[in-house]
Structure 1
Amino acid sequence: MGLKLLINSLFRGGAEKQFAALARVLPHEGLILLENEILQASGASKIKTLSGHSSATSSLLKTASIPLYARRLAALTGPGDTVLSFMERANIVNILAARRTGHRAVICERTSPSGEFSGLRGALMRPLIRRYYPEASLVVANSSGVKKDLAGSFAVPAGKIRVIHNGCDCSGIGALAPEPLPAGWAPVFERPVIAAGGRLTAAKGHWHLLRIFKELKKTLPAAALVLLGEGELQGYLLKLSAKLGLITFTGPGLPPPDADVYFAGFRENPYQFISRARLFAFTSLWEGFPNALLEAMACGTPVASADCASGPRELLAPGTSLAGRALAPEHAAYGLLMPVLSGNRQPAGAPPEQAELAWTAKLSEMLSAPAALRSYSSAGSRRARDFDLAKTAGLWLELLTPPTT
C-alpha cells in the first residue's frame, strides 16, 4: 500500500522533467515506465519498465500496446495503492489497470489536448482521452486553461479536476545559472541575445521566431538568436534559417562570435545561457503550463510570450480573464504577452504576417529599453518563486494523501 509514479518514459521533455522533480520530493515506492528510456535523473532507486519500447518505437505500436501495459501495471499494484501518472498513454494505462485492481488512479494532464492532438495522432488519442479520462479517481491539470479544455472538450467532470501548476526548482536554477559558459560562447553573449528554449516541435512555433528575427536584424544588426533544445523539426528549422539568409551555427566546434542564429542543442545546464540573454522569446502555439517560460523567469531573464492556450497568461498576468487573447503587445505584470502566431509555415520569401511584425517591433523596442528589461527581470524572478517546488510539492502531498473513511 503506497504511492507509485507512472510515466511513458524519462525522455528529455517538460513533463518528464516535472515528473522527475516530483519523484525527488514525494515519498513513493518506485517509478514505473511504459518504455525503457531513461534520460532524466530522478534520484529513484527503484525503476520498473513495462516494455522494451523506446523513442524509436512507432507511436502507433505504443498506442496499440496500451492494453498490454495495463495488464503489466495491474500485476504491480493493489487496492490500497495510489498510482500517479503523467502523459496521456500512461494516464489511460493507469485507468485501465485500476479497473482490474481497484487502485486509486490519479492522472495528470500536462498540455492542452485540443492543441496537442491533430492528424492521425489526434484521431487515435482524442477518443481515448474522451472515453477513459472521466473514469479517473482524480485528474490534475497544470493550468486552469487545461482544466477548461478537459471539462469542455473531453467530458471530464469539472468536480474531478484539480489545478496544480508546474513547480520550479528556483534554488537549483539559481545555483546553475552563474556557471561559466562553455568555451567560445562568452563573445556571443556580449551582443544583445534573444534566447529561446524548449523542444523543437510544432507546438513551439520556432519557424515564426526565425522569421521575426530576420526582420529584427534590419533594425538591430548586432542581435543574436540562441535556440536551446532539440527535436523533430530541427532539420526544417536549419533549412529555413539558411533560406532566410541568416548565418547559422549548429556545431560541433566553437561558435563563431558573429553568426546570426545559434542552434545550441540540448544542454544539461541551459540556465547559464538563458540567464545571460537580454530577452527570452516564447512563440508557442499551445501549451499546458510552460516550464521553459517559468525557468527563464527564475533565471531573471525578461520574457516575451505568445498569449496562447494555456499557461502564459496565468503566469504573466494573474487575475486577468483567461477568455481573451492579446491582439497587440500587452505589458503584463510579469512579462510581455504577445499576439498568438498563425502556425502557418510560410516559405522564406513570403512577406511577414501582421503578428510577426508586431513581435518584431516590440522585441526591437525592448532590446533597446534597459530600464524596462531590469523591471521585468526583477518582477519575473519574484513571480517564479510563487511556483517554487517546495510549495507545489506540498499541494501534491495534500492531494495524494488517501481520503479517510
Structure 2
Amino acid sequence: MSLKRIAIVINSLSGGGAEKVMLTLAKGLQAKGHEPHLLVLERAVEHAVPADIPVHFCFADDDRNLDSFWKLGASAAKLKQFISQLQQHVGSFDLFLSNLHQTNLLMTRTGVAPLYCVVHNSMNEELKRQRKLGPFAWLDMWRAHKALDGQHLVAVSEGVADELRHSRRITPASVTTIYNPFELDEIRQLAQQPVSELPAGDYMIHVGRFARQKRHDVLFAALAKMQHDIPLVLLCSNRKKALKAVRKFGLEQRVIVPGFQQNPFPWIKRAKVLMLSSDYEGLPTVLIEALAVGTPVVSTLCKHGPKEILSGYLAQWLVPRRDPQALAAKLDVVLEQSPDVSDADILDKVTLDAIVERYLALIPAD
C-alpha cells in the first residue's frame, strides 16, 4: 500500500485510555511507512509522544467551552479552517479518525471525509450515568450521541458495536468493530524497567481515571470486606481527588496513590492482581495489558468489553457490577491461587500489526 496520511483527532493527550490507544495506533501506522498526524483540541499532554509523530494543537490556549451550545458552530468552523490550512501544508489526509465526545461534536460538523468516529464506551451507560447528574449533564451526553447519527463508526468491542447497531437514537452509516491495538512485546519490555517507587511488599493495583464510571467507591468497599489486607496501588491522573476519597473511606493506611505513570507496566507486572470495578467500559485496555505481562485480573462484568477479554477459563474472574462482597471474595481467591493468565485468547486478537491493517482498510480504494 502506498503511503497514507491519517489524521487522528482527539480532545487532548491527557492520561486516559482512548488517548493511549490512539498513540499506539499512530506508532503502528508510522512503523508501516505511513504518516499519522495527531490533531489535538486542548494543550493537555501527559502521555509520552514520540518526537517524530507530528502533533498539531487546533485551538489557542484561551479557547474554552468549544462544544457549548453557543460556541459549537464557531468552533467547528474554526477547526475546519485549521484542517484546511494544515492540509495545504502537509498534504491531504486519506482518513480522519475522531475520538471522544467533544471532538466528535466538532468533527462531524466539519464535512471532512472519509471520517470515522471511534466509539470507546457504551453510550447507553453514559447516558444513564449523566441522567443521575441532572438534565443538563444528560443533554450534553445526548448531543454527543446524536452527533454520531449518519456517521461511519468504529466500535472498540463487539458489545459496543451491537449497541450502536440497535440504537433507537441514531442510525449509523456503518459500524465496524476494531479492537484496540497493543504493542505486546514493547509492553513486556517496558514492564522490566526498574521503578524506585514500587512498594516493597505485595500489593494489588487499579489503573484508570478517577471518575464515577470507574466506581472507586465499590473498589474501596471491597477492600474492607477482603480477608487479605495487602495494600492497593491507584494509578490515576487526578491524584488530589483520589486522595480525598481515600481519606473519606478511612483507607489512608491501605491505599497508595502514586498518581499517573507514563510507564505503568512495571507497577502492573509486579502486582499480585489488577482489578477493574467499572460500571461500564468499551474495551478496557488495562485488563489486556495486565494479561500481557502475566498479572491475574478480576473485573466487573460491565458493559462492554470485559467478557470479550476474559473468555474461556478466564471468565471465572468476572464478578457482578456494584457488588463489593463478590469483588472482595474473588480478589481473595486470586491472591490464594495466583493463576496463570499468560495464554489468554484475547492477546492474539489485539496485536498492533493486525489492528493497523484493519484501520488502513477503512481508506477508500483509489
| TM-score between the two structures when normalised by the length of structure 1 | 0.77
The structure 2 residue matched to 1:338, chosen from 319, 329, 332, is: 319
Q: Which residue of 2 aligns with 1:133?
A: 148
| 1:378 partnered with 2:332 | no
Q: Which residue of 2 aligns with 1:48?
A: 56
Which whole-Å deviations, capped at 9, do the CAs of 1:233-286 have from their partners, x for residues lacking one?
x53x4344335443x2xxxxxxxxxx4211121112211111011111110111
Letter in 2 for 1:201: A
Matched residue SS, 2:233:
strand
Q: In 1, are the aligned partners of 2:10 and 2:98 still within 8 Å (CA)?
A: yes
Residue 16 of structure 1, CA deviation: 0.8
Q: In 2, are the aligned partners of 1:83 and 1:94 still within 8 Å (CA)?
A: no
Q: Which residue of 1 aligns with 2:258?
A: 264
Q: Which residue of 1 aligns with 2:243?
A: 238
Q: Which residue of 2 aligns with 1:146?
A: 160
Task: Quickly say closer, same or farther: Cα 1:11–1:68, change in 2 above 3 A.
Answer: farther
Identity of aligned residues (%): 26
Letter in 2 for 1:203: Q
Q: In 1, are the aligned partners of 2:153 and 2:174 still within 8 Å (CA)?
A: yes
Task: Quickly say closer, same or farther: Cα 1:271–1:387, change in 2 above 3 A.
Answer: same
**Structure 1 runs of 4+ with >6 Å offset:** none
| 1:11 partnered with 2:14 | yes
Residue 70 of structure 1, CA deviation: 2.0
Q: In 2, are the aligned partners of 1:170 and 1:385 still within 8 Å (CA)?
A: no
Q: Which residue of 2 aligns with 1:317?
A: 311
Residue 128 of structure 1, CA deviation: 4.2
Stretch deviating more after TM superposition (86-95 or 307-316): 86-95
Matched residue SS, 2:116:
strand
The CA distance in 1 between the partners of 2:212 and 2:162, in whole Å, is: 22
Q: In 2, are the aligned partners of 1:195 and 1:226 still within 8 Å (CA)?
A: yes
Stretch deviating more after TM superposition (166-175 or 83-92): 83-92
Letter in 1 for 2:116: V
Q: Which residue of 2 aligns with 1:74?
A: 80
Letter in 1 for 2:196: P
Letter in 1 for 2:255: V
| 1:364 partnered with 2:345 | no
- 1:42-121 → structure 2 map (5 Å cutoff): 42-43=49-50, 44-53=52-61, 60-64=65-69, 65-75=71-81, 76-77=83-84, 81-98=94-111, 103-117=113-127, 118=130, 119=133, 120-121=136-137
Residue 11 of structure 1, CA deviation: 1.6
The CA distance in 1 between the partners of 2:264 and 2:43, in whole Å, is: 25
Task: Quickly say closer, same or farther: Cα 1:81–1:394, change in 2 above 3 A.
Answer: closer
Q: Which residue of 2 aligns with 1:392?
A: 355
* RMSD, aligned CA: 2.6
Matched residue SS, 2:8:
strand
Q: In 2, are the aligned partners of 1:147 and 1:158 still within 8 Å (CA)?
A: no
Q: In 2, are the aligned partners of 1:167 and 1:392 still within 8 Å (CA)?
A: yes
Letter in 2 for 1:94: M
Task: Quickly say closer, same or farther: Cα 1:63–1:280, change in 2 above 3 A.
Answer: same
Residue 291 of structure 1, CA deviation: 1.1
Matched residue SS, 1:32:
strand
Letter in 1 for 2:309: L
Matched residue SS, 1:30:
strand
Residue 203 of structure 1, CA deviation: 0.8
Aligned pair count?
344
Matched residue SS, 1:74:
helix
